[in-house]
Amino acid sequence: MDELNRGAPAGGLCADQAELERLRALFPAEKGPLRILDAGGDRLALLLWRLGRQVVEADLSPAAPRRAREAEEDGGRAEPLPAGCQSLPFPDESFDGVVSGGAVRQAADRAAYREWYRVLRRGGLLAVRDRTADGGPLSDTSARPRRDVELLRELGFAHCRAEAAPEGDGFWITAHKPASAGRMHIPQLTQYNRYLRAAKSQLQLYSNWCAANGLSYAEFMVLHMATHHAKGVRPSDISSALVIPRQTLTRILAGLEKRGDVERSVNESDRRSALIRITPAGRKRFHSLHSRLHQAEQQALSRFTVEDLSRFADFSEGLLEAYAGALQGPEEA
C-alpha cells in the first residue's frame, strides 16, 4: 500500500489508491472468491490482483504479460489471455465481475457491452472507469456516460449508474446483471421491444404520409384490398383481413362512398350482405398514391444491401414460426 501512496498530493490519495479503494468497495472480499474479467487491459487488473481477486485479463496489448508478472510478484493470481472485447472465448456467465478501463472510450460500444453481459453471472457487476479525452471535467463529455447508461439498460443491465470519478478526471459507470431472469431484463425481450417500436414508428410514418395525401391509412388499405376483388368484397371480409372493428369500418366505407371511391352492390350469393367495389375514380386515386409510395419505399430500401434485407426477411419469418409454435393450442391448466 505504501507504493500506492508515493506521489499522492498532500491531504489526499493518489489516483491509484483511490481507484483501489473504489474497487475494494465494488468487489468486497466478504463476497468470497471472485473471478473478474478485465476487458481491454488496464491497470485496474493490477489493482484487483493486489486486492487478491482472481482476474482474467482479456487484452491484445503487449503489456498484459508484464502486468501478469507484476501480479504474481504481489501474490495475486493472473490469467492473461489475448482476446478482443467484442468476442470473448468464455462460456456464458463465467465471471462474477467485469471491469474496463477505457475499452469503449471512443463511443458506447454495443457489441462489447453485449459480450460483457453474456459472460457475467447473474447478479454480477460491470464497472467501467473512463477518462475524458482531453482531461477535462465530466461535464465536457456528459453525453458519453449518459449514452452508455441508456445502452446498458437497453441490453438488460439493471441499477445502471454513472458518476464523476472523485480520484481525478473522467467517470465511473456501474451496472448489475439481474440476479434472476426477470421479465424486464431479458436481452432478447429488450431487443424484440426495439423491433416492435420500429414497426410502430414505420406504421406512423405511413399514416402521416397518407394523411398528407388526403386520406387515412385505413382508407388506403381498404382501397388496396378492393383493387384485388373486381366483383366486390364483403365488409365482414375487409374487417377480418385488416383487423378493423366493424363499426369503424362502417364509418370508413361511408366516407369512401361519399368521396366516390367505392360503391355498394347487392351480393347475389347472400342478400343479407352487400359487396364493396372500387370505382374507376377510386382505382385511379389508389394507383396514383400507390405508385408514389412504392417509389419512396424503393428509395429507402436502396440504402440496404440484398444481404441485409434477406437477413431481415429470415428473421421476420423465423419470428412468426416461433410465435406460431409457442402460441398454438390451449394452455395446460
DSSP assignments along 218-273, one per residue: HHHHHHHHHHT-TT-B-HHHHHHHHT--HHHHHHHHHHHHHHTSEEEEE-TT-TTS
Give the separation between CA 256 and CA 233, rounded to whole angstroms.
Answer: 15
What Å distances lie between residue 86 and 28, 148, 151, 230, CA to CA?
27, 16, 15, 56
Nearest Cα residue to 167 out of 28, 329, 43, 299: 43
Helix then strand then coil, % of the chain, to nearest 5: 50, 15, 30
Provide DSSP, 15-77: HHHHHHHHHHHHS-GGG-S-EEEEES--HHHHHHHHTT-EEEEE--STTHHHHHHHHHHTT-E
In the block, cell 500500500 appears at 1
Q: Which distant-in-sequence residues (6+ apart) come within 8 Å of 87 by Cβ?
A: 115
* Per-residue pLDDT at 14: 60
One fold for both 2-185 and 200-317? no
232 neighbors 252 (Cβ within 8 angstroms): no
CA distance 149 to 230: 55
Which of 145, 165, 129 lies closest to 42 in space, CA to CA?
129
Which residue type, as a one-letter code, is found at position 104? Answer: V
pLDDT of residue 70: 55
Residue 194: per-residue pLDDT: 75
Quickly count: other Cβ atoms within 10 Å of residue 212's Cβ: 8
Question: What is the rounded distance in angstroms from the CA atom of residue 161 to the CA atom of residue 120?
Answer: 17
- Fold that domain 2-185 belongs to in CATH: Rossmann fold (3.40.50)
Query: What tens-digit pLDDT sequence spans the chain (333 residues)?
Result: 333 333 333 333 466 788 888 888 888 877 777 888 888 656 787 788 788 788 877 754 445 455 555 545 554 444 444 445 566 888 999 999 999 886 565 445 778 888 899 999 998 999 988 875 444 444 444 567 788 888 888 888 888 988 887 766 678 899 999 887 554 445 566 667 778 888 889 999 999 999 999 999 999 999 999 999 989 999 999 999 999 999 999 999 999 999 999 999 988 887 778 899 999 999 999 999 999 999 999 999 999 898 888 888 888 888 888 888 888 765 554
Region 200-317: CATH code: 1.10.10.10
Domain residue ranges of the chain, discontinuous segments joined by +: 2-185, 200-317
Q: Which of 106, 143, 109, 141 is nearest to 126 (CA)?
A: 109
Give the pLDDT score at 126: 94
Q: Is 232 left (phi over 0), alpha (psi -120 to 50) or beta?
A: left
CA dist 62 and 42 (Å) reads 12
Instruction: Give DSSP secondary structure letters for 169-198.
Output: SSEEEEEE--SS--GGG-HHHHHHHHHHHH
CA distance 310 to 314: 6
The model's pTM is 0.48
